[in-house]
A and B are shown apart, each in its own frame.
Chain A
Amino acid sequence: MSGQGAKIEYVDVSKRYGAVEALRPTSLTIEAGEFFSIIGPSGSGKTTLLGVTAGYVPPTTGQIIIDGRNVVGEPPFQRNIGMVFQNYALFPHMTVAENIGFPLRMRKTPKAEVAERVKKMLALVQLENMAQRKPGQLSGGQQQRIALARAAVYDPLMLLMDEPLSALDKNLREAMQDEVKQFQTVLGSTVLYVTHDQAEAAAMSDRIAIMNHGRIVQIGSPRDLYEHPVARFVASFLGEANIFDIDKVAPHASGSTIATRHGFSLVSAIASGHEGQCICVRPEAVMLNASRPDHDNVIEGRIVDATYTAGSLRYRVQLAPEVIITQRTPSVRGIEMFAEGATVFASWRAEDTLLVADD
């Protein structure tokens, strides 16, 4: 376990299936040791990007440079990449130890060394006493850990993970997020993690790329993406977003005044706004008051409904016949709740009126 992941560069990598452009020319650099996630809806091209990296999908154009070597054209078994599959793909006819030892046996590693490294890996994922079991006798979480161990036992240049936690139930999934992250930190691997679950990606990643229609829309840290989305798609894919369509933007010295299509006049701290964008306001940025507050943006509305969940209280507020926004507050003990139909004033700061591309 040398503990050094490789740096990966994608240069104009694309994939076309007949008339369908599954992946448009994409350039991207993943740093050594980085935990990099790709999120997007199904058909966004994220699985294709994973396939061309692993080597079982030949790209139509472009280069993939891993540790300075262009691997395009190399079959999967020469790339020295570890991959964890959605349903783990543990070989059912082999024991746990045989599964983990498989990549080492394929590399003609001496028997004694195979045994030793398998043992080390089993210790790392805390399943020492499961060595002689068959995968079918393990729980989903245990299979997941074995799949991780198998993909990492030969010190691959990078680890690819294809929705590895999607088959687990919610509580286990959250526990496994920490384990996967811990595993990566201990080994120092470069990880390319594909998921459609934005919360999962945000919990583990250094950076996230959001894909849609075969291209990367935005790359950034989880915080960057949530606080500074560049496009409507990003804003609404990551968490919840209240979107207002824009009618007219009037920039001035300290920001801009924006007329929305439904007749609201809002202020934003962004001075470079223009038509062709839309406004995004996060539910957490909105405050609700029974009386009109003194704030940058204030709109009178009516409570449609309230949902109390573990962690937050979520209101839907009707601002105009066709405009309903959501608002979130931490659900602290004894919080006073607005009744359905109550008149409230929704307000937020000019800094929270985000202007994003309307895609």
Chain B
Amino acid sequence: MTWNSSGRLARIFVVAFTVAVLIYLIMPTFVIVPLSFSSKSYLSFPPPGWSLQWYQTMMERHDYPQAFWNSIKIGVPVALLSTTLGTLAALGVVRGRFFGARPMSAVVIAPLMLPQIILAIGLYPIMAKFGLAGSYPGVVIGHTVICIPLVFITVAASLKNYHPAYEYAAMTLGAGWWSTFWHVTFPMIRVGVIVGGILAFTFSFDELIIALFLTSPETRTLPRLLWEDLRQYVTPIIAAATTLVLCISFILFGAVALLQRRLSKATKS
């Protein structure tokens, strides 16, 4: 065997392996999609026939549209809140020169690393005490706790991407604290902030455990409704709703990927 042909063989192997891993990663997620177009009223793969009836049924039921809007009503304020707080935390930890800045960043990231069930169990009695269990503010606060670290990580990465000399420069040139942030810091971390916000929304939109503890039938989110439905009757309606969630998540992840490409281009120039 010549060196050249063995090199080609190795390349074929690498490509085949990569494709196999990708299939392994993505396939389980996509199995649900054809199920939602099934003509029968039970879940089987592959579907015996094709129809859009489950999408129609889903829209006609009152609980699915309501849960969908609940997810958005919770996701948007979570994204806004965690973007603001996460950005401030990143500014403080990355740019601040105070004792304990490093341990501080571990504390900020902790809610993301800890099991969500622990957070949910801890949050529930507190929310109940303040009369917030089952309300929108209750679940918004719960989701924000986990979403702050998401924003913190993306914004901290943007801040570490450039030297604080830009901010010193703005200040020596006469910009106050607020002007420096608004005219210099924010434009340079904007992509990180937006990406963090999208991730926060996506997280809140997909999250189940905290929603189980902190929402009521009036405020329940789409993932919670899916979970409750699953326990009672397994119909392709669930597949249809899941496909909807999938679509929204993929659109948002696509937006993140595009933004990050813009970011890496901007840093190169």
Contact = CB atoms under 8 A, between A and B. Distances in A.
B196 to A, nearest CB: 19
Interface string A46-65: 00000000111000000000
Nearest to B266: A92
B239 to A, nearest CB: 45
Interface in A90-119: 91-93, 102-103, 106-107
Given A79-B172, A81-B172, A106-B174, A89 B179 contact: no
Give the residue among B169, B170, B176, B188 with the most A Cβ atoms within 10 A: B169
A134 B269 contact: yes
Contacts of B110: none
B129 interface: no
Contacts of A91: 166, 169-170, 183-184, 187
Given A79-B172, A151-B173, A89 B163 contact: yes
A239 B174 CA distance: 39
Contacts of B177: 75
Given A106-B179, A136-B269, A154 B174 contact: yes
B99 to A, nearest CB: 10
A132 to B, nearest CB: 15
Given A92-B269, A102-B183, A85 B169 contact: yes
B227 interface: no
A150 to B, nearest CB: 7
Given A92-B269, A93-B188, A150 B168 contact: no
Interface string A69-89: 000000111011111011101
Given A92-B266, A92-B269, A93-B187, A103 B165 contact: no
Nearest to B162: A92
Give the residue among B172, B183, B266 with the most A Cβ atoms within 10 A: B172
B172 A55 contact: yes
Interface in B135-192: 163, 165-166, 168-177, 179-180, 183-184, 187-188
Interface residues of A, number: 29
A77 B168 contact: no
Interface residues on B, range: 20 to 34
B180 to A, nearest CB: 8
B174 A107 contact: yes
B165 A106 contact: no
Given A85-B165, A87-B163, A76 B188 contact: no
A177 to B, nearest CB: 22
A151 B269 CA distance: 23
Contacts of A134: 269
Nearest to A153: B173
A111 B170 CA distance: 19
B170 A56 contact: no
Give the residue among A81, A87, A102, A154 with the most B Cβ atoms within 10 A: A102
Contact of A56 (B168, B179, B266): B168
A103 B171 CA distance: 9
Nearest to A136: B269
Contacts of B269: 92, 134, 136-137
A86 B173 contact: no
A102 B166 CA distance: 13
A166 to B, nearest CB: 13
B175 A106 contact: yes
Given A87-B163, A93-B188, A54 B183 contact: no
Given A86-B165, A87-B165, A102 B170 contact: yes
B188 to A, nearest CB: 7
Given A54-B168, A92-B266, A134-B269, A82 B188 contact: no
A136 B119 CA distance: 46
Contacts of A93: 187-188
B172 A54 contact: yes
Contacts of A160: 172
B214 to A, nearest CB: 40
Contacts of B174: 77, 80, 103, 106-107, 154
A304 B163 CA distance: 47
28 contacts: A55-B171, A55-B172, A56-B168, A56-B171, A75-B176, A75-B177, A76-B171, A77-B174, A77-B179, A77-B180, A83-B173, A85-B168, A85-B169, A87-B163, A89-B163, A89-B166, A89-B169, A91-B169, A91-B170, A91-B187, A92-B188, A93-B187, A102-B170, A102-B175, A102-B183, A106-B173, A154-B173, A154-B174
Interface of A: 54-56, 75-77, 79-83, 85-87, 89, 91-93, 102-103, 106-107, 134, 136-137, 150-151, 154, 160
Given A80-B174, A93-B188, A150-B173, 20 more contacts: A54-B168, A76-B172, A77-B179, A77-B180, A79-B172, A81-B172, A83-B169, A86-B165, A89-B165, A89-B166, A89-B168, A91-B166, A91-B169, A91-B170, A91-B183, A92-B269, A102-B173, A106-B179, A136-B269, A137-B269
- Which 4 pairs show the lowest CB-CB distances between chains A and B? A136-B269, A89-B169, A76-B171, A103-B173
